[in-house]
A and B are shown apart, each in its own frame.
Chain A
């Protein structure tokens, strides 16, 4: 294909090993992140079949999902749940056996896969990256074609460094103008999902563009790309620019010296060509975005903090009406009620969506000099050991502790609640994570997705408030 190409077209076409007769493509995978939950079956079958890992130099493993966020110095022995411990032990043994580099639990670099990939420079523009986790979309912030895969595909990549894939279509979402004060990347992506819906991007790769995207830091871009899967698309992309290159330079797995210059020259060619066309397009005005909050049990169930819960009677069809009624019932919210003022029991700040240094700073700026009221449990879980160390160097841990937040060790924590960090039945939580599905953070738990600043504001107020009022 000649003519103008999109960023996605360029990356895809440069990774075609072969076009298959059946209409799929054998696609080369440059980078692979591995964690304990979705890798054991692949390693197990490779051992049975006598197969090896094709490119250990392109693979990094880290335990993150089923680990506790306390007492990290105890390492694997500190994992109380025998099943979770067994899974991490299996990861360690498999990585040893297959020669896959692994970041151990007690290493300062340990953290959530999608935080440590960029930190270590595994994530590179123009590359393809996969992981057995749907939030692999995060890495698209670097102009890296990154998507989540299942365990069978993890095994396929370990063994062959390739995947058979059907080529997705191109979608472009432009965010025009500038974000208002107190409104963050998290609010932007929640607002986008509210517009396109949770299946709006199915079958597509989404390229985010426009001045408001360009103005974001790498941390903000990662937050936006991270939740692309909540809009149905497996991958989000942002063309690399000077912000990207400044973040990358000097990281451990990023090329240095002459190789850096050579790579940089290539990365500068990746942006979508003038006149490139998309199968689907949407434009959102940044100035219209207020701090967002979800009211229901799907990420598309989102409203501005100044908004009200929907009324099932006003739904377009019967199935949608039932879905709204069921979600409101599960969330113990009445129809047509202001969301501001709803009391919270718990607050979770962390996850691959919002566990980076900028998120810690945004939450600390709100928490500073304020107190979490009695009866509210608030915790901050940095996304990696490096984020934790930097936050402590900046004194953010003291701000959180003085305000009454817990300051934990890195991991996925209460985003997926595979460890002890979970909601009890009926508990209502302001969470900076990515999914408000029923029971996601603990059976019967009620999750409201918000930005770190909004979560901190809810923590110190004991209820949902408009963070812009606290920042004024």
Chain B
């Protein structure tokens, strides 16, 4: 997994509540068995009209936000479907940090696994950054994960909270499957204990077709 340390560049604002993962990346992008090019489908129905032409007014279709690396969103961002295509599409577009008052649970976990930093900020701070992001003169900001700050274009900083474990994982880019596999002995021991007390959870294989 890619590490996340610092990030600076244009921030785009999407001031809407309850933006679901169907809006982040719609169903027609879910049938591929490759992640390549998902950035093209990011916010598809906002970005393209019914004839698939770019909607000129949409923020990600306008300079400098067409190169945004930070997104400022509304409450409950990422609700709905568990599709990990949502963080994949954000990352493929180039967005590695989303700032919002709150996030949905599954999307939140999926972002951690893909090196995307989600920052939950109190509504007032989020509103300040939304206003900054809306103006081409002030939309550039810098995120420093180690220092836990977002620096505005005027040099002022906004501090944010993050759980120590998530910060550590993002800073180090840890692959937790490798880490968990190294703990096989603990998992073996759990299974031995569970098998003794709840043996019915083991060996119940699905019958073969026609059986």
Which residue numbers of A lie inside 8 Å of B, CB to CB? Answer: 17-18, 20, 22-24, 26, 28, 30, 37-38, 40-41, 44, 51, 54, 56-58, 60, 65-66, 81, 83-84, 86-87, 90, 101, 103-104, 107, 109, 120-122, 124, 126-127, 132-134, 148-153, 155-156, 159-162, 164, 166, 198-199, 202-203, 229-230, 232-234, 252-255, 259-260, 262-263, 266, 298, 300, 319-320, 322-323, 326, 416-418, 425, 435, 437-440, 443-444
Contacts and interface: CB of A to CB of B under 8 A. Distances in A.
A28 B168 CA distance: 23
Interface of B: 15-18, 20, 22-23, 26-28, 30-33, 35, 45, 50, 74-76, 79-84, 87, 102, 104-106, 109-110, 113-114, 163-165, 168, 176-177, 180-181, 183, 186-187, 190-191, 194, 198-207, 209
A156 B27 contact: no
B180 A164 contact: yes
Contacts of B198: 126, 263, 266
B157 to A, nearest CB: 25
Contacts of A233: 105
Of listed A40, A107, A232, residue having the most chain B CB within 10 A: A232
Interface class of chain A by DSSP: loop
Contacts, number: 202
Contacts of B26: 439, 443
B36 to A, nearest CB: 12
A156 B177 contact: yes
B191 to A, nearest CB: 8
B110 to A, nearest CB: 4
A124 B200 CA distance: 10
A30 B201 contact: yes
30 contacts: A18-B183, A23-B164, A28-B190, A28-B194, A66-B30, A84-B31, A86-B31, A86-B33, A120-B206, A133-B82, A134-B81, A149-B82, A150-B83, A151-B84, A152-B110, A152-B114, A159-B177, A160-B177, A164-B176, A202-B76, A232-B105, A254-B204, A255-B200, A319-B15, A319-B17, A323-B17, A437-B20, A437-B80, A439-B45, A440-B27
A217 B85 CA distance: 35
A22 B79 CA distance: 26
Contact of A153 (B17, B18, B109): B109
Given A26-B183, A103-B206, A233-B105, 4 more contacts: A20-B165, A41-B35, A66-B31, A438-B45
Contacts of B16: 319, 322-323, 326
A340 B10 CA distance: 47
